[in-house]
Structure 1
């Protein structure tokens, strides 16, 4: 029986139950499943476990040449628990004939719901009003704005962006989107208008970031882009921290250049205690947990196992990031 080892999650009642479900589901598919939590990450233990397994379910830690060299010829498949893979050296994996996949879309509902939550909270100025009223005891009448009926711009129209669009359309919003690889037919079918970056930033009442992080999207949201936004607009990020220039965002929020922002991701995680972002009363912060719902987590475990089943059945998979792994070796 082929073996799956999972490094994702930490011991808790929720993860204990999720991994019991994963073990049972894997067994139904003919695979043995083992959970080896990595808190903190132990590279030597990870290598040893992968050398004894046929698939590794990995988290956000770096996977590079040293790991891939050690498991060459032993574990031919790693599946990233989630979407981002910026810490995985795909070139090194390919050199050693190791396929790397990701569970695209499995956590889309959780992330989209969190993005909507942040948009609503920022538009209604929940954090500023806590400081203005609750903590001072002065319950003055502060006027905020509704999201219903407004224009929301989605930066990145992939699985999460599309699901967020459906939620927003249900609220009667006008939804516009930018994507570097636009699917015009799909957008039109959904009732979403694809626009360029200038229009997205100048016309949106709220912007939600959903592009992947790579060299092209590093600080994609910079001072110039923030300066294009309406003074009543808000921006939220549930993708990757370095897509937004945090210094530029701090300056824009400090100067009240825009109404507010919501961040679930940061350039450095955990967010340092000395971060100047903590000074701001018009910024909502959450600890990179937008995908941490029972439903999204289970969808991700299930998809990872399904990817493994397809891999060993020889079925083509759109989830593999480096299909050239089959032909390029050291």
Structure 2
């Protein structure tokens, strides 16, 4: 029986329950499943856990040659719990004959819902108003409605499209920027394709849905942020380093834009010294867009299905490094 070791999740009632369910599901597919919580991540502990596994389910932590060379004798598959894979050295994994997959699509609805939540929360100044109530100030802050507004989506993949679908119920005009999609395909989804500059100039709310790459590092910098209207807001549920946080702080602190909603940051956990924490026109959450019971189970289920297909000799879904076969 092939053995899966999952390093994802913290020791809590929620994750204990999910992993019991995952263990039962794996058993139904004739797979052994072991959960070894790995928070905080330690490379030596990860090696110890994975070297006795045929497959591993891993978090967002860095995985490179120093790990692969220790586990490759037995471990032939790693499944990234989530979508981003910028911290996994795919070339090194291929050199050691380790296939790497991701659970793309399983968290789409959860992340899209979180993006919508941050848009609504930021547009209606919920955080500011909560602080007013807590401090005894019954201030009537005047906010903006999302209904009938113009939404800009940067990155129109599965999550960006799901956000657009959710916002259609708000009768929004939706602009989208994605250099990898043709305009006809975007129009077929009911959005108007546009340039990045025009999107930042026009939109009342901007939602980012990009992978983190060398090309997208600090893509959203001072020049784009200063194009935004004073009444507009920006939301990021993708990767922190896509936004230049120093420039974002400056436009928020000077009220050049109305607000921001962030679930991701350049450094996580966000340092207590971050100037972002001093702002009142920002909503922040600790990278929890996919942390719903429903999304988490879809991810566990897909990760186990990927392992089942792989060990049955079938092509696994969402394979990131087909070059692993050349070893």
TM-score of the pair, normalised by structure 1: 0.95
TM-aligned CA deviation for residue 150 of structure 1: 0.8
Contact 2:111 2:290 in 1 (8 A): yes
Deviation per residue, 1:17-39 (Å, 9 max, x gap):
10011111111112111101112
* Correspondence list, 1:45-64, <5 A: 45-64=45-64
TM-aligned CA deviation for residue 88 of structure 1: 0.8
Determine the structure 1 residue equivalent to 2:84: 84
Distance 1:310 1:183, change over 3 A: farther
Determine the structure 2 residue equivalent to 1:99: 99
TM-score of the pair, normalised by structure 2: 0.96
Q: Give me the whole-angstrom Cα distance separating, in 2, the residues matched to 1:15 and 1:301.
A: 11
1:57 is paired with a residue of what secondary structure? strand
> Relative to structure 2, which stretch is displaced further, 177-186 or 265-274?
177-186
TM-aligned CA deviation for residue 42 of structure 1: 3.1
2:74 is paired with a residue of what secondary structure? coil
Gaps of 5+ in 1: none
2:141 is paired with a residue of what secondary structure? coil
User: Runs (4+) of structure 1 moved beyond 3 Å?
Assistant: 135-138, 183-186
Deviation per residue, 1:182-204 (Å, 9 max, x gap):
15454333212222211211111
Determine the structure 1 residue equivalent to 2:274: 275
Q: Give me the whole-angstrom Cα distance separating, in 1, the residues matched to 2:107 and 2:184.
A: 24
Q: Give me the whole-angstrom Cα distance separating, in 2, the residues matched to 1:54 and 1:70.
A: 13
Q: Give me the whole-angstrom Cα distance separating, in 2, the residues matched to 1:274 and 1:18.
A: 35
Determine the structure 1 residue equivalent to 2:290: 291
Determine the structure 2 residue equivalent to 1:216: 215
Gaps of 5+ in 2: none
1:94 is paired with a residue of what secondary structure? helix
Distance 1:138 1:49, change over 3 A: closer
Determine the structure 2 residue equivalent to 1:128: 128
TM-aligned CA deviation for residue 230 of structure 1: 1.1
TM-aligned CA deviation for residue 180 of structure 1: 2.7
Contact 2:306 2:317 in 1 (8 A): no
Q: Give me the whole-angstrom Cα distance separating, in 2, the residues matched to 1:114 and 1:162.
A: 14
The size of the alignment, in residue pairs, is: 327
> Relative to structure 2, which stretch is displaced further, 101-110 or 190-199?
190-199
Determine the structure 2 residue equivalent to 1:11: 11
Q: Give me the whole-angstrom Cα distance separating, in 1, the residues matched to 2:227 and 2:303.
A: 40
2:34 is paired with a residue of what secondary structure? strand
Q: Give me the whole-angstrom Cα distance separating, in 2, the residues matched to 1:311 and 1:35.
A: 20
Q: Give me the whole-angstrom Cα distance separating, in 1, the residues matched to 2:291 and 2:205.
A: 23
Deviation per residue, 1:267-317 (Å, 9 max, x gap):
111111111111101011111111110000000000101111222233334
Contact 1:104 1:159 in 2 (8 A): no
